[in-house]
Amino acid sequence: MIPVLSAFFFVGQRCSRHVANSFRTAILTVPDAQNCSVTKPLIRSLSNWASTFGYAGEPAASSGTRHAVGLFGRPELTRPEDWQRLADETEDRCDMLLAEVLDTAPEDGVEVVALIDEMSDQLCRTYDAAECCRNVHSDPRWRAAAGKVCVQLGEYISRVNHHEGMYQRLSGALAAYESSLAALEKRETPRLGPRQLAGWCRESVMVAHKLKQDMEQAGVHLSSESHRARVAELAAANGHFGAAFNTALTDPSKVGRVRIALGRSASLEPSNVAALMVSEPDEQVRKKIYMAAGKSPACNQHLLEDMVATRWELARVQGYPSYAALRMAGGSLARTPGAVVAFLEQLAADVRPMAEQELQALRRLKAASSDPSPSGATIHAWDVEYYAARARQLLITSQPSAVLRYTVVPSVLTGIRHLLWRVFRMEWRISEAAPGEGWAPGVLRCEVEHPELGPLGVVYLDLGDRPGKYPTAVTFPITCGREVPPTRGGGGRQLPVMALLASASGTCPTTGKPAMSYRELRVLLHELGHCCHNLLSRTKYQHLWGTRCAQDIVEVPSHLFEYFASDPRVMAVLARDRSATAAGADGAMEDGEPLPEGLLKELVAGRSVTAALELQQQLVLSLVDQWMFGEQPPGGPYAEVNASVGTPEGTSARATTISEIWRQAVDVASSVPYVQGTSPELRVGHLTIYGGAYYGYVYARCLAAQLWRLTGLAEAPLDPVAGNLVRERLLGPGGSLEPLDLLAGLAIGRAAGTSLGSTSDPAAAAAAAATAAGATPGAVAVAARQRRLEPWQVARLRQRGLDKALASPAEGGFLQALQGGFAPRSEPYLELIRAGRGGA
């Protein structure tokens, strides 16, 4: 999801895909009981126009010519009761796989990795599908049945995470492999034979390490029984605090109301507060709402305190210096919280002059307003959104509905098909879902193919508006992609399946058809970035598939896709008034009339009017997140505050401290001062969800701005050569490369003409990479045959990429080494803000 620029300090950036994902990594996490029901007043289905436009020449579902195929195209899911049977069968299959794991000798250890990945896949295929169903299905019986199964499988996953026998087989397998490598180096006889050694490829080693680490985060490796029990207890408590915190935010009785005038009161629900901060003209009323919202819901104070303490202990018991360090150990570009904080503080200093300029413009608006404020032209926290909206109104002179002529849903989908074909050679064939296949009227089924890679997978698109629909744009994985081992299903690839939900809340003024606002179009592109990451990922194991990559890389493709929305050449493909063309939705790329460039300029400028202030807001959230869950600087804010601040009556010392952390983050990163007497942290659900990983969004913005240039997309956004580079080096590898290697691979650039990651032909990729590393022809042949690189070849390639990625900015370097980790350089992103194109 793209951030909503509203309610200045209350709204963070949260991608729903990421949230959904983070709760479902099998062999890792127990599900969260998130409740996401928001009612919308308008019922509108896309089924009418979908059949009218006759997607892909398929007959409409209503004609009865397509057979019912089960939910998500699975014949085993035709009634809500099927969930229970499916969950039970999944557990049975996993029990059998577990028995096989326990029967495998350490010498055949790579088979242990394959079996555990298979087990994880079996669990994900049911758990992810149920997680999606319980959130999106329009029928409450389906939602309830799927929700029950999520709880059941969550408990099963937790038991598997703590299975000592499985952990021992896995660590034994890895130890046998690693000791054999060490023996070979010393010219001694290795424990594993040549065939057993050859079974291990780079990806197998990586998956083995990650699985082991995941299990260790559940405490399975701890020697003392009491420590293991304590970790389980803390993990359960952590989940509870997060769920309770977020539930309170949507509970009207907990968030409360504020009396703003005689006979007038307002609900303090976050969405209502956000709306009033933009629209309420009376400053005193805005201030009253802001102050009241800054103290509610009061119950979140102790939930947050307890969560901070729980996570701290959870990390310490497992030997990490902080919770953020524990999260980063799972694979990250940043590597250390210190690198993150240094980066955030530097960026905060760099963006401040731009933010001050934006603030100056808002001050002028306030001073010129007809109703002079008693507080003068000072911009307070409760003024920012109000005057930012006025500034946007001044910039966008066209009617808000002007864009809707060009963003009618079928026409946008036609544009997307053209765009994805031109850039990535992906062919999207769109039809209506068969009866029972979708979860609501109007769900579309997109089958995606590539001329060389073959079928890529299926994306279900849900753009309709209806009461109770999932409240934000989101991508749910339903089936992961992976190679199917020849021994288990005959080889080939398991094709991924996803659900993409977004909205089209507008109506075309001329045709009356559903249409997207500019923001909704941008959000759709963001989610498509996640889908394409998954569709084009070519990993061997599902554990490393697509968006199952590092926490500070996962948002990079989606942010890169957002840039398509500000480029006039792309928008001329995406946003066209095709109403007059007979071909309708499947028309040619040039059919109809493109969105006028002047209007696009206004829209882009409108989104960017307070881009620097908005970045400051993201920096405050990222810093608070690091300071609460990351390493503390010497004597850190926490300790200093504890020493210097007394405990006001009725509040605890810890709560004062967290507010104080917030105040310090505002001092460092924001041009709008902190408001004494408020506790903004009570309303930021992101703090509970990310816990030390929120910085990933700021990293992604900076990296995407770099990659937009580096890949050649900025120059030619419809160029398949640039698209190929993105596909091969950013999307294809998924999580199968360490983030630093992934970015180093991109930095080698087009010139090397090779890939460090997976391609359609791993043998060819390995041979090409070996050549690039300067291998002898013999070694190249070996690399090709074994489909893997020798360690020295990887090391040399890596060094070349690293040298380039870490070169000076003038030489195209885009990373910096900071305090034991890495961060993006932020110059290109700041340039975009300076040029009025940095809206997010």
Angle value at C-alpha 150, between 145 and 151, nearest 5 degrees: 100
Q: Which of 11, 15, 446, 768 binds Zn ion (CB under 5 A)?
A: 15
CB of 109 to Zn ion, least distance (A): 36
- Tell me if 94 sits within 8 A of 624, measured CB to CB: no
- Complex with Zn ion: residue 15 or 573, whichever CB lies closer: 15
- Complex with Zn ion: residue 15 or 572, whichever CB lies closer: 15
With the C-alpha atoms ordered 429, 432, 438, 441, is the resulting torsion angle positive or negative? positive
Which CB contacts under 8 angstroms, 24+ apart, belong to 415-418?
415/573, 415/574, 415/575, 415/576, 415/589, 416/524, 416/528, 416/574, 418/573, 418/589
- Tell me if 332 sits within 8 A of 739, measured CB to CB: yes
CB of 472 to Zn ion, least distance (A): 10
CB of 2 to Zn ion, least distance (A): 8
Interacting stretch for Zn ion, rule CB under 5 A, among 15-23, 202-210, 462-470, 709-717? 15-23
**558 scored as a contact of Zn ion (CB under 5 A):** yes
CB of 549 to Zn ion, least distance (A): 13
CB of 627 to Zn ion, least distance (A): 24
- Complex with Zn ion: residue 314 or 560, whichever CB lies closer: 560
**618 scored as a contact of Zn ion (CB under 5 A):** no
CB of 448 to Zn ion, least distance (A): 19
- Complex with Zn ion: residue 315 or 500, whichever CB lies closer: 500
For residues 512 to 551, the per-residue mask of contacts with Zn ion, x marking binding by CB under 5 A and - elsewhere, is ----------------------------------------
The values of phi and psi at residue 178, to 5°, are -70, -35
The DSSP bridge partners found for residue 482 are 494
Q: Which amino acid is present at 185?
A: E
**556 scored as a contact of Zn ion (CB under 5 A):** no
What tokens were used for 233? Answer: 């207890």
For residues 473 to 502, the per-residue mask of contacts with Zn ion, x marking binding by CB under 5 A and - elsewhere, is ------------------------------
Rounded distance, CA 599 to CA 616, Å? 28
Interacting stretch for Zn ion, rule CB under 5 A, among 13-21, 34-42, 62-70, 508-516? 13-21
CB of 17 to Zn ion, least distance (A): 5
List, in order, residues 6 or more apart from 420 with CB less than 8 Å away.
426, 428, 528, 532
- Complex with Zn ion: residue 273 or 550, whichever CB lies closer: 550
- Complex with Zn ion: residue 408 or 704, whichever CB lies closer: 704
What part of residues 256-295 is at the interface with Zn ion (CB under 5 A)? none
Nearest CA-CA partner of 680 in 665, 695, 669, 692 = 665
CB of 223 to Zn ion, least distance (A): 40
Nearest CA-CA partner of 464 in 522, 412, 500, 503 = 503
Rounded distance, CA 353 to CA 344, Å? 15
- Complex with Zn ion: residue 327 or 513, whichever CB lies closer: 327
- Tell me if 813 sits within 8 A of 805, measured CB to CB: yes
Nearest CA-CA partner of 690 in 203, 2, 4, 15 = 15
Q: How many positions of this chain bind Zn ion (CB under 5 A)?
A: 2
Interacting stretch for Zn ion, rule CB under 5 A, among 9-17, 161-169, 191-199, 815-823? 9-17
Interacting stretch for Zn ion, rule CB under 5 A, among 8-16, 71-79, 649-657, 675-683? 8-16
Q: Which residue is nearest to Zn ion (CB)?
A: 15
Helices then strands, each counted (H, E), the chain? 32, 15
User: CA 140: distance to chain centroid?
Assistant: 27
- Complex with Zn ion: residue 391 or 553, whichever CB lies closer: 553
User: Which residue carries 């010139």 as its tokens?
Assistant: 751
- Complex with Zn ion: residue 338 or 734, whichever CB lies closer: 734
- Complex with Zn ion: residue 558 or 688, whichever CB lies closer: 558
Rounded distance, CA 410 to CA 49, Å? 8
The residues of the shown chain that bind Zn ion, judged by CB under 5 A, are 15, 558
